[in-house]
Structure 1
Amino acid sequence: MSTSPLPRRNNPIVRTVLALLVCLISLPAASVGAVPSQHAQAGDKQSAGKKSMLEERRALYDHMAAVTHIPWYRLAAIDQYERTMTTAHPKDRRHSQRLTGIVFSEAVWAGALNPDPADQSPRSIALFSGVGLDGSGDGLADRENDLDLMYTMSRQIIRFGLREEDFHQALWSYYHNSRAVQRIQQFARMYQSFDTLDLHAHAFPLPVSSDYSYRSTWGSGRSWGGYRIHEGTDLFARYGVPVRSTCFGIVEVKGWNPFGGWRIGIRDLDNHYHYYAHLSGYDKSISTGDLVKPGQTLGWVGSSGYGKPGTQGKFPPHLHYGIYRDNGLTEWSFDPYPLLHQWENAERTAIRSKKKGPRT
């Protein structure tokens, strides 16, 4: 008999959540070899599938919040951070396809001294000081079950309390990593403020109607301040062209940098750091810690940098745009050009579609 404090399967809430999980697993995969006329349909199905998945995740978070009293946006933030760590470490954190991104190692889940690393019995797991719990009410503590995973993680968090400072302490106790604590708290703020999980839209950093040019310049050499590689893409434009946020995110850094001049850095929910440099100035409404949306004006194209604060004009006006990925311990840059090209094309396509109007 299960000792889980959660409602059993005959509870209508649990039945609803489990039904949603079954629906997700049974969604058909998109055809890889679709003919051009089917691409639009495949795209529509993909968009609908993503929306359905986000709705199912939100239902899972809301259910667990009702059971544990942990706000849904904190659960979502932990889950999203775990998902970004799997993206950064796919081999070490490989798991089956499921709603949650939370990963517990066998040793942590079942107990380091447990002779059965795949143990799913809550009683024997507890005997060997494992953390795995039964969250679905089926009598098993399954390391691949979404409800079991979310409930087990919730119990790791709630034992410290429900206040904001308790949440901070719980994250530190679990991760022992200040970067992880900061990221999860940032994600929680975004989810709480926007009240949605659908925060992965993007925009081109310059108005597509403006006069600009760019090409892939990531990895090319730079000599000012010592030899280094170029960690971004330069988008050349006239002074004063608006520089826009490419994502939903939180302003992490704003101010002068000897290399980047007046620059601003934004963290998004994929744990990417978006770096905008050489600005001529900032939008006065933007401050460190503020939340931003795709297309929101951050500042304007300039030629600041390569010297002490205020240095201008050592190169033609342009926006230096870079993206950095966080692996939990450090960050490294990757070529933003493919994403810039993708966002530019998507925005131009949306504008053309809007001009044509709806189909009759």
Structure 2
Amino acid sequence: MKLTIPIAAALIAALLLMALPVSNAKASPAIMSRIGKNADRMAAAETDPLPIRRSLYEKLSLFTDVPWYWIAAIDQYERSMSKVKPKARPMLGSTVGVFIDPERWAGMLNPNSEDSSPASIRFFNGIGRDGDGNGQADRTSDDDLLYSLVSRVAAYGISDDDFSIGLWEYYQNNRAVQRIQQFARIYAAFGKLDLFEHAFPVPIGTHYSYNSTWGTGRSWGGRRTHEGTDIFADHGLPVRSVCYGIVEVKGWNPYGGWRIGIRDLNNFYHYYAHLSGFDKTISTGDIVKPGQVVGWVGSSGYGKPGTSGKFPPHLHYGVYSDRGLMEWSFDPYPMLRRWEQAERKRIRSGK
């Protein structure tokens, strides 16, 4: 009986200690180091996140043998999905765009959805991994987030075909696989991350006019709304890519006539319609850059292939945002005004 009181007291003391608020406990040097590291990275990311991301991609590439442009493509696709679904996919790290929900990170059967122990996460078949070697699988760490996703995909192999299989197994979505493949090709072609410059779709200084026409009514082929901005210009005026991107579609459409579609790294689909023709050197799958001529203004469309002249010559420019399973049109007029003004400023400054 003499041992009962000390044992009970010890148990009570232990329970009280466990009940103390976490804020009363001193953080370990490792945790304090992580906090300082993340704070420094977040501060740097606010000024220019691209060098930080490139450093992460190259470091992870050395560790996994996955080319940096594949890693960049995954991160950018994840970022694009979070931008269109900010409530469902809040930003977890300081600069990477990867989102992994708690159940997938820790394991569906893991009683601790906030688990950061690599051993127990593996036991419950979670995908969370320690990417920076500090012994923790932290779902708010850029290194851990990126390493966890990339290593999961790379488990199927690092050749382009095997990696694509891994992407499908992870996302279970053909559109996601296609987008990441497209992004990887864009990054590989230019060898850099800073690929967000834009150009106005027709040459500045030429004769053209446009107003906000998105959402107005259209009747050919049935009642519908106008999903773009019409830029009226002379027949044959060059039409240019507004972005760095990849040619996704090229050919005839009964509504848009001769049209071309270009996908950019923001996961926007840029649609150029009613062309009189295409640049013959451009094919589906080609990589383009801002200001590159892709076709010419015309009046094609509203009928079978070759139909033309049912309306004045103009470029129909539309833009669509990929939301994962479908795309939504949004008004391109504000962007067009911004790009036009920015290009005029560059021309005046001689850049």
Q: Which residue in the other structure is 2:121 paired with?
A: 125
Q: Report how far residue 193 of structure 1 moved.
A: 1.0
Quote the Cα distance in structure 1 between the aligned partners of 2:297 and 2:131.
52
Structure 1 equivalent of residue 261 of structure 2? 265
Partner residue in 1 for 2:10? none
2:9 aligned partner = none
Q: 1:26: Cα distance to partner?
A: 2.6
Q: Counterparts of 1:132 and 1:253 in 2: how far apart (Å)?
A: 37
Residue segments in structure 1 that go unaligned for 5+ positions in a row: 1-8, 30-48, 356-360
The CA deviation at 1:109 is: 0.4
What is the aligned partner in structure 2 of residue 91 from structure 1?
87
Name the CA distance, whole Å, in 2 between partners of 1:22 and 1:154.
Answer: 24
For 1:246, the equivalent position in structure 2 comes to 242
* Deviation, structure 1 residue 124: 1.5
**Counterpart of 1:142 in 2: which secondary structure?**
coil
CA shift digits 1:29-84 (9 cap, x unpaired): 7xxxxxxxxxxxxxxxxxxx23xx11110110000000110110001000000000
Q: Which amino acid aligns with 2:252?
A: W
Say if 2:92 and 2:141, in contact at 8 Å, map to a contact too.
no
CA distance in 2: counterparts of 1:139 and 1:181, whole angstroms? 31
Secondary structure in 1 matching 2:50: helix
Aligned partners of 1:282 and 1:186: how far apart in 2?
Answer: 21
Coordinate RMSD, CA, aligned: 2.0
Q: Which residue number in structure 2 is paired with residue 25 of structure 1?
A: 42
Residue in 2 aligned with 1:228?
224
Pick the aligned partner of 2:212 from 209, 216, 238: 216
> CA separation in 2, counterparts of 1:312 and 1:235?
17
Of 170, 173, 191, 1:177 maps to: 173
Which residue identity lines up with residue 64 of structure 1 in the other structure? L
Percent of residue pairs bearing the same amino acid type: 59
The answer as to 2:64 corresponding to 1:68 is yes
CA 1:123 to 1:59, structure 2 compared with 1: closer, same or farther past 3 Å?
Answer: same
Residue 349 of structure 1: CA displacement? 0.9
Moved over 6 A (4+): 17-20
Alignment partner of 1:344 is 2:343: no
What is the Cα deviation at residue 325 of structure 1? Answer: 0.4
SS of 2:295's equivalent in the other structure is: strand
Preserved contact between residue 235 and residue 321 of structure 1 (Cα < 8 Å): yes
Q: 1:18 to 1:352 in 2, by over 3 A?
A: farther
2:7 is aligned to none
CA distance in structure 1 between the aligned counterparts of 2:150 and 2:44, rounded to whole angstroms = 28
User: In 2, Cα distance between the equivalents of 1:165 and 1:26?
Assistant: 38
TM-score normalised by structure 1 residue count:
0.86
Secondary structure of the equivalent of 2:130?
Answer: coil
Whichever residue aligns with residue 96 of structure 2, its letter is T
Letter in 1 for 2:307: T
Q: Which residue of 2 aligns with 1:308?
A: 304
Separation (CA, whole Å) in 1 of partners of 2:249 and 2:271: 9
Amino acid aligned to 1:169: I
Map of 1:4 onto structure 2? none
Residue 323 of structure 2, aligned match among 290, 307, 327: 327
Shift in Å at residue 162 of structure 1?
A: 1.3
1:159 corresponds to which of 121, 134, 155: 155
**Equivalent-residue separation in structure 1 for 2:228 and 2:60 (angstroms):** 41
Q: Distance in 2 between matches of 1:76 and 1:27?
A: 19
Whether the aligned pair in 2 keeps the contact of 1:21 and 1:99 (CA below 8 Å) is: no
Asked if structure 2 preserves the Cα contact closer than 8 Å seen for 1:20 and 1:56, the reply is no
Contact 2:202 2:240 in 1 (8 A): yes
Contact 2:263 2:269 in 1 (8 A): yes
Contact 1:322–1:336 (Cα < 8 Å) also in 2:
yes
Residue 154 of structure 1: CA displacement?
A: 2.0
TM-score norm. by structure 2 comes to 0.88
Displacement of 1:97: 5.2
Secondary structure in structure 2 of the residue aligned to 1:289:
coil
CA distance in 2, matches of 1:139, 1:113: 22
Matched letter for residue 70 of structure 1: V
Tell me which residue corresponds to 1:289: 285
Q: Counterpart of 2:54 in 1: which secondary structure? A: helix
The reply to whether residue 82 of structure 1 matches residue 40 of structure 2 is: no
Name the amino acid aligned to 1:157: V
